[in-house]
Amino acid sequence: MPTVAFYDTKPYDKPSFEKYGEESGVSFRFFDAKLNGDTAELARGCDAVCVFVNDTVDAAVIDTLAAAGVKLVALRSAGYNNVDVRHAYGRIHVVHVPAYSPYAVAEHAMALLLTSVRRIHKAYIRTRDFNFSLNGLTGFDLHGKCVGVIGTGKIGRVFIDICRGFGMRVIAYDPYPAPDSGIDYVDLDTLFAQSDVISLHCPLTEQSRHVIDAAAVEKMKKGVVLLNTSRGGLIDDEALLEGIKSRKIGAACLDVYDEEADVFFEDRSGHILDDDMLSRLISMPNVIVTSHQAFLTEEALDNIAQTTVDSIRTFFEGGVCEHELCYRCGRMEDCKKERTRRCF
Ligand code: NAI
C-alpha cells in the first residue's frame, strides 16, 4: 500500500481523499505545512507526496524528496508552474489533475464579474447595516459588451459559453487556436483595444508571465474590467495598480495573486499584512479579491481526489499514468509518453 505525504492540508481536502484512499489502498499522512526546503524531510518513508498550488517543488526540494525515497509528486491541481519539471525529469515522476471542473473556475469568474459590475459586494454590506440607499451602486449591462478571453482551453471555453449566454460579443487570443470552435480569434493588441472585459484563462509560462503589463494596460479601453482566475504572475501588479489609479482600469477581480503563497488559504485576520501591494489592491473600492477559491466546489473536490488517488494507485501498480507530465508536455514531436507511455 503506497503511503503519501499530503502537504498543505485543509479541512475541506480530507474527506474526499480519505474516502478514495480507503477504496484504493492508498494511505495518507496529512501535514498542515506547505512543502518547501524546510518540510521536504517530512516525506521520508513515504512513497509519494501530494501537493497543491502554493507548495514549492523546486530543484532542491526534488533532490531531497528523491533522496528520501519519494517516487512520485502528485499535484492535486491543474497548473504546475510551481514544479521544476525539467529538474524532475529522470528523478521523480509528476502527475497532475488536468481537468476536475472547468465549470467551477469559469462560473467563479462570472460570479466575480457580476459582483463587480452590479456592485453586489457593496450592496450586501449596506443592507446588512439597514442602509437601503442606491447611491453609487450604478452598474452596467453585460449584454452587448465585448469580452476578450486570453486562453481558450477547457476553462476559457466554458467561460466563453457563459458569456455568450449573457449576450456578450466574444473575442479571444490563444497561440494554439481551437479549430472549428467558432471562436473569433484576434491578436492581443486587438483584444486589448476592443474588450470591455478581459478574462485570463491561460497557464503561467515564460511566454505568458506579465501578459498584462504597462504596455498592455496602455492599449486597453478606458474602464476595462480585468478578471484573473488563472495565475497571479500573468499580471504585473505595479502596472495594474497604476492602471487603476489612472482610472484606465475600471475594476479588477483577482482570484490569484503573484505573491499569494504566504497569504492565501490562511486566516490572517488580526494580523498586520506585510504585503503592501496586496493591501493597496484590497483597499481599492473597485478591486475584488478572493483567495484562490475558484476551484472550490463539491464536484471539483471530489474529482480532484478521485483522479489523484487513481493516478497514485496506477503508478505504484506499475501501470500507465494518463496524467503524467514532464517538461516535454505540449511538444508532441518528442513526447516519449506517446511511444512508451511513461515520461521516462
Ligand atoms: P487548458 O490547458 O485546458 O487551457 C489553457 C489554454 O491556454 C490552452 O488553450 C493554451 O493553448 C492556452 N495558452 C497557452 N499559452 C498561452 C499564452 N501565452 N497566451 C494565451 N493562451 C495561452 O487549461 P485550463 O484547464 O483551461 O486552465 C487554465 C488555467 O486556469 C490553468 O493553467 C491554471 O493556471 C488556472 N486554474 C485556476 C484555478 C483556480 O482555482 N483559480 C483552478 C484551475 C485552473
Collapse the DSSP code of 224 into the 3-class scheme (helix H, G, I; strand E, B; otherwise coil) and give the result.
Answer: strand
Q: Which residues of 211-242 are buried (b: 16+ CB within 10 A; e: fewer)?
A: bbeeebbeebbeebbbbbbbbbbbbbbebbbe
Protein residue with its CA nearest to atom 32 in ligand 1: 203
Does residue 101 line the site of ligand 1, with CB under 6 A?
no
Q: Could you tell me the strand order of the sheet in which 72-75 lies?
A: 27-30, 3-6, 48-51, 72-75, 93-95
179 lines ligand 1 (CB under 6 A): no
Distance 339 CA to ligand 1 centre (A): 26
Strand partners, 197: 147, 225
CB 76 within 8 A of CB 308: yes
Catalytic choice (76, 201, 260, 313): 260
Pocket probe for ligand 1: among 101, 110, 174, 183, the residue whose CB has the most ligand atoms within 8 Å is 174
Mark whether 86 is an active-site residue.
no
The number of residues making up the chain comes to 344
Q: Among 101, 192, 202, which residue has the most ligand 1 atoms within 8 Å of its CB, making it the best to mutate?
A: 202
Atom of ligand 1 nearest to the CA of 294: 40
CA distance 18 to 26: 9
Q: Which residues of 246-281 are buried (b: 16+ CB within 10 A; e: fewer)?
A: eebbbbbbbbbbbebbebbbeeeeeeeeebeebeeb
Class assignment of domain 3-100+297-334? alpha beta
The angle, 0 to 180 degrees and rounded to 10, between the axes of the packed helices 298-316 and 14-24 is 30
Spans of the chain below 70 pLDDT: 330-334, 338-339
166 CA to centre of ligand 1 in angstroms: 22
Three-state DSSP state, 183: coil
Evaluate: CB of 155 within 6 angstroms of ligand 1.
Answer: yes
Q: Strand 169-173 relative to strand 224-228: parallel, antiparallel, unpaired? A: unpaired
Give the per-residue pLDDT at 268. Answer: 93
pLDDT, position 200: 98
The verdict on whether 292 is a catalytic residue reads yes
Q: State in Å: Cα 222 to ligand 1 middle.
A: 26
Distance 60 CA to ligand 1 centre (A): 27
Residue with cell 491561460: 202
Residues 6+ apart with CB under 8 A from 265: 8, 10, 54, 291, 292
pLDDT tens-digit map of 21-78: 999 999 999 999 999 999 999 999 999 999 999 999 999 999 999 999 999 999 999 9
The structure's pTM equals 0.92
pLDDT score for 127: 98
Write phi, then psi, for 113 (nearest 5 degrees): -65, -45
Residues forming a β-bridge with 134: none
Choosing from 76, 80, 105 the residue with most ligand 1 atoms within 8 A of its CB, the one to mutate for a pocket test is: 105
* 260 a catalytic residue: yes
Q: Do residues 2 and 28 touch, judged by C-beta distance below 8 A?
A: no
Residue 5, classed as helix, strand or coil, is strand
Cβ–ligand 1 contact at 230 (below 6 Å): yes
Residue type, 241: L
pLDDT given for residue 141 in this prediction: 98
pLDDT at 332: 61
Q: 288 forms bridges with which residues in the sheet?
A: 253
Grid cell, residue 195, equals: 474588450
Residue 145 in contact with residue 198, Cβ under 8 Å? no
According to the model, what pLDDT value does residue 45 have? 95
What are residue 333's phi and psi, to 5 degrees?
-65, -30
Q: Where in the chain is the domain with CATH 3.40.50.720?
A: 3-100+297-334, 102-289
* φ and ψ at residue 183, rounded to 5 degrees: -85, 140
Q: Please list, in sequence order, all residues whose beta carbon lies within 8 angstroms of the beta carbon of residue 45, skipping any fewer than 6 positions away.
A: 3, 68, 69
The pLDDT, as a whole number, for residue 333 is: 66
Instruction: Count CB neighbours of 71 within 10 A.
Output: 16
- Tell me how many degrees the CA angle 212-144-193 measures, rounded to the nearest 5: 30
Sheet with 169-173: list strands edge to edge: 169-173, 146-150, 197-200, 224-228, 249-254, 287-289
Ligand 1 atom closest to the Cα of residue 155 is 26
Superfamily, domain 102-289: NAD(P)-binding Rossmann-like Domain (3.40.50.720)
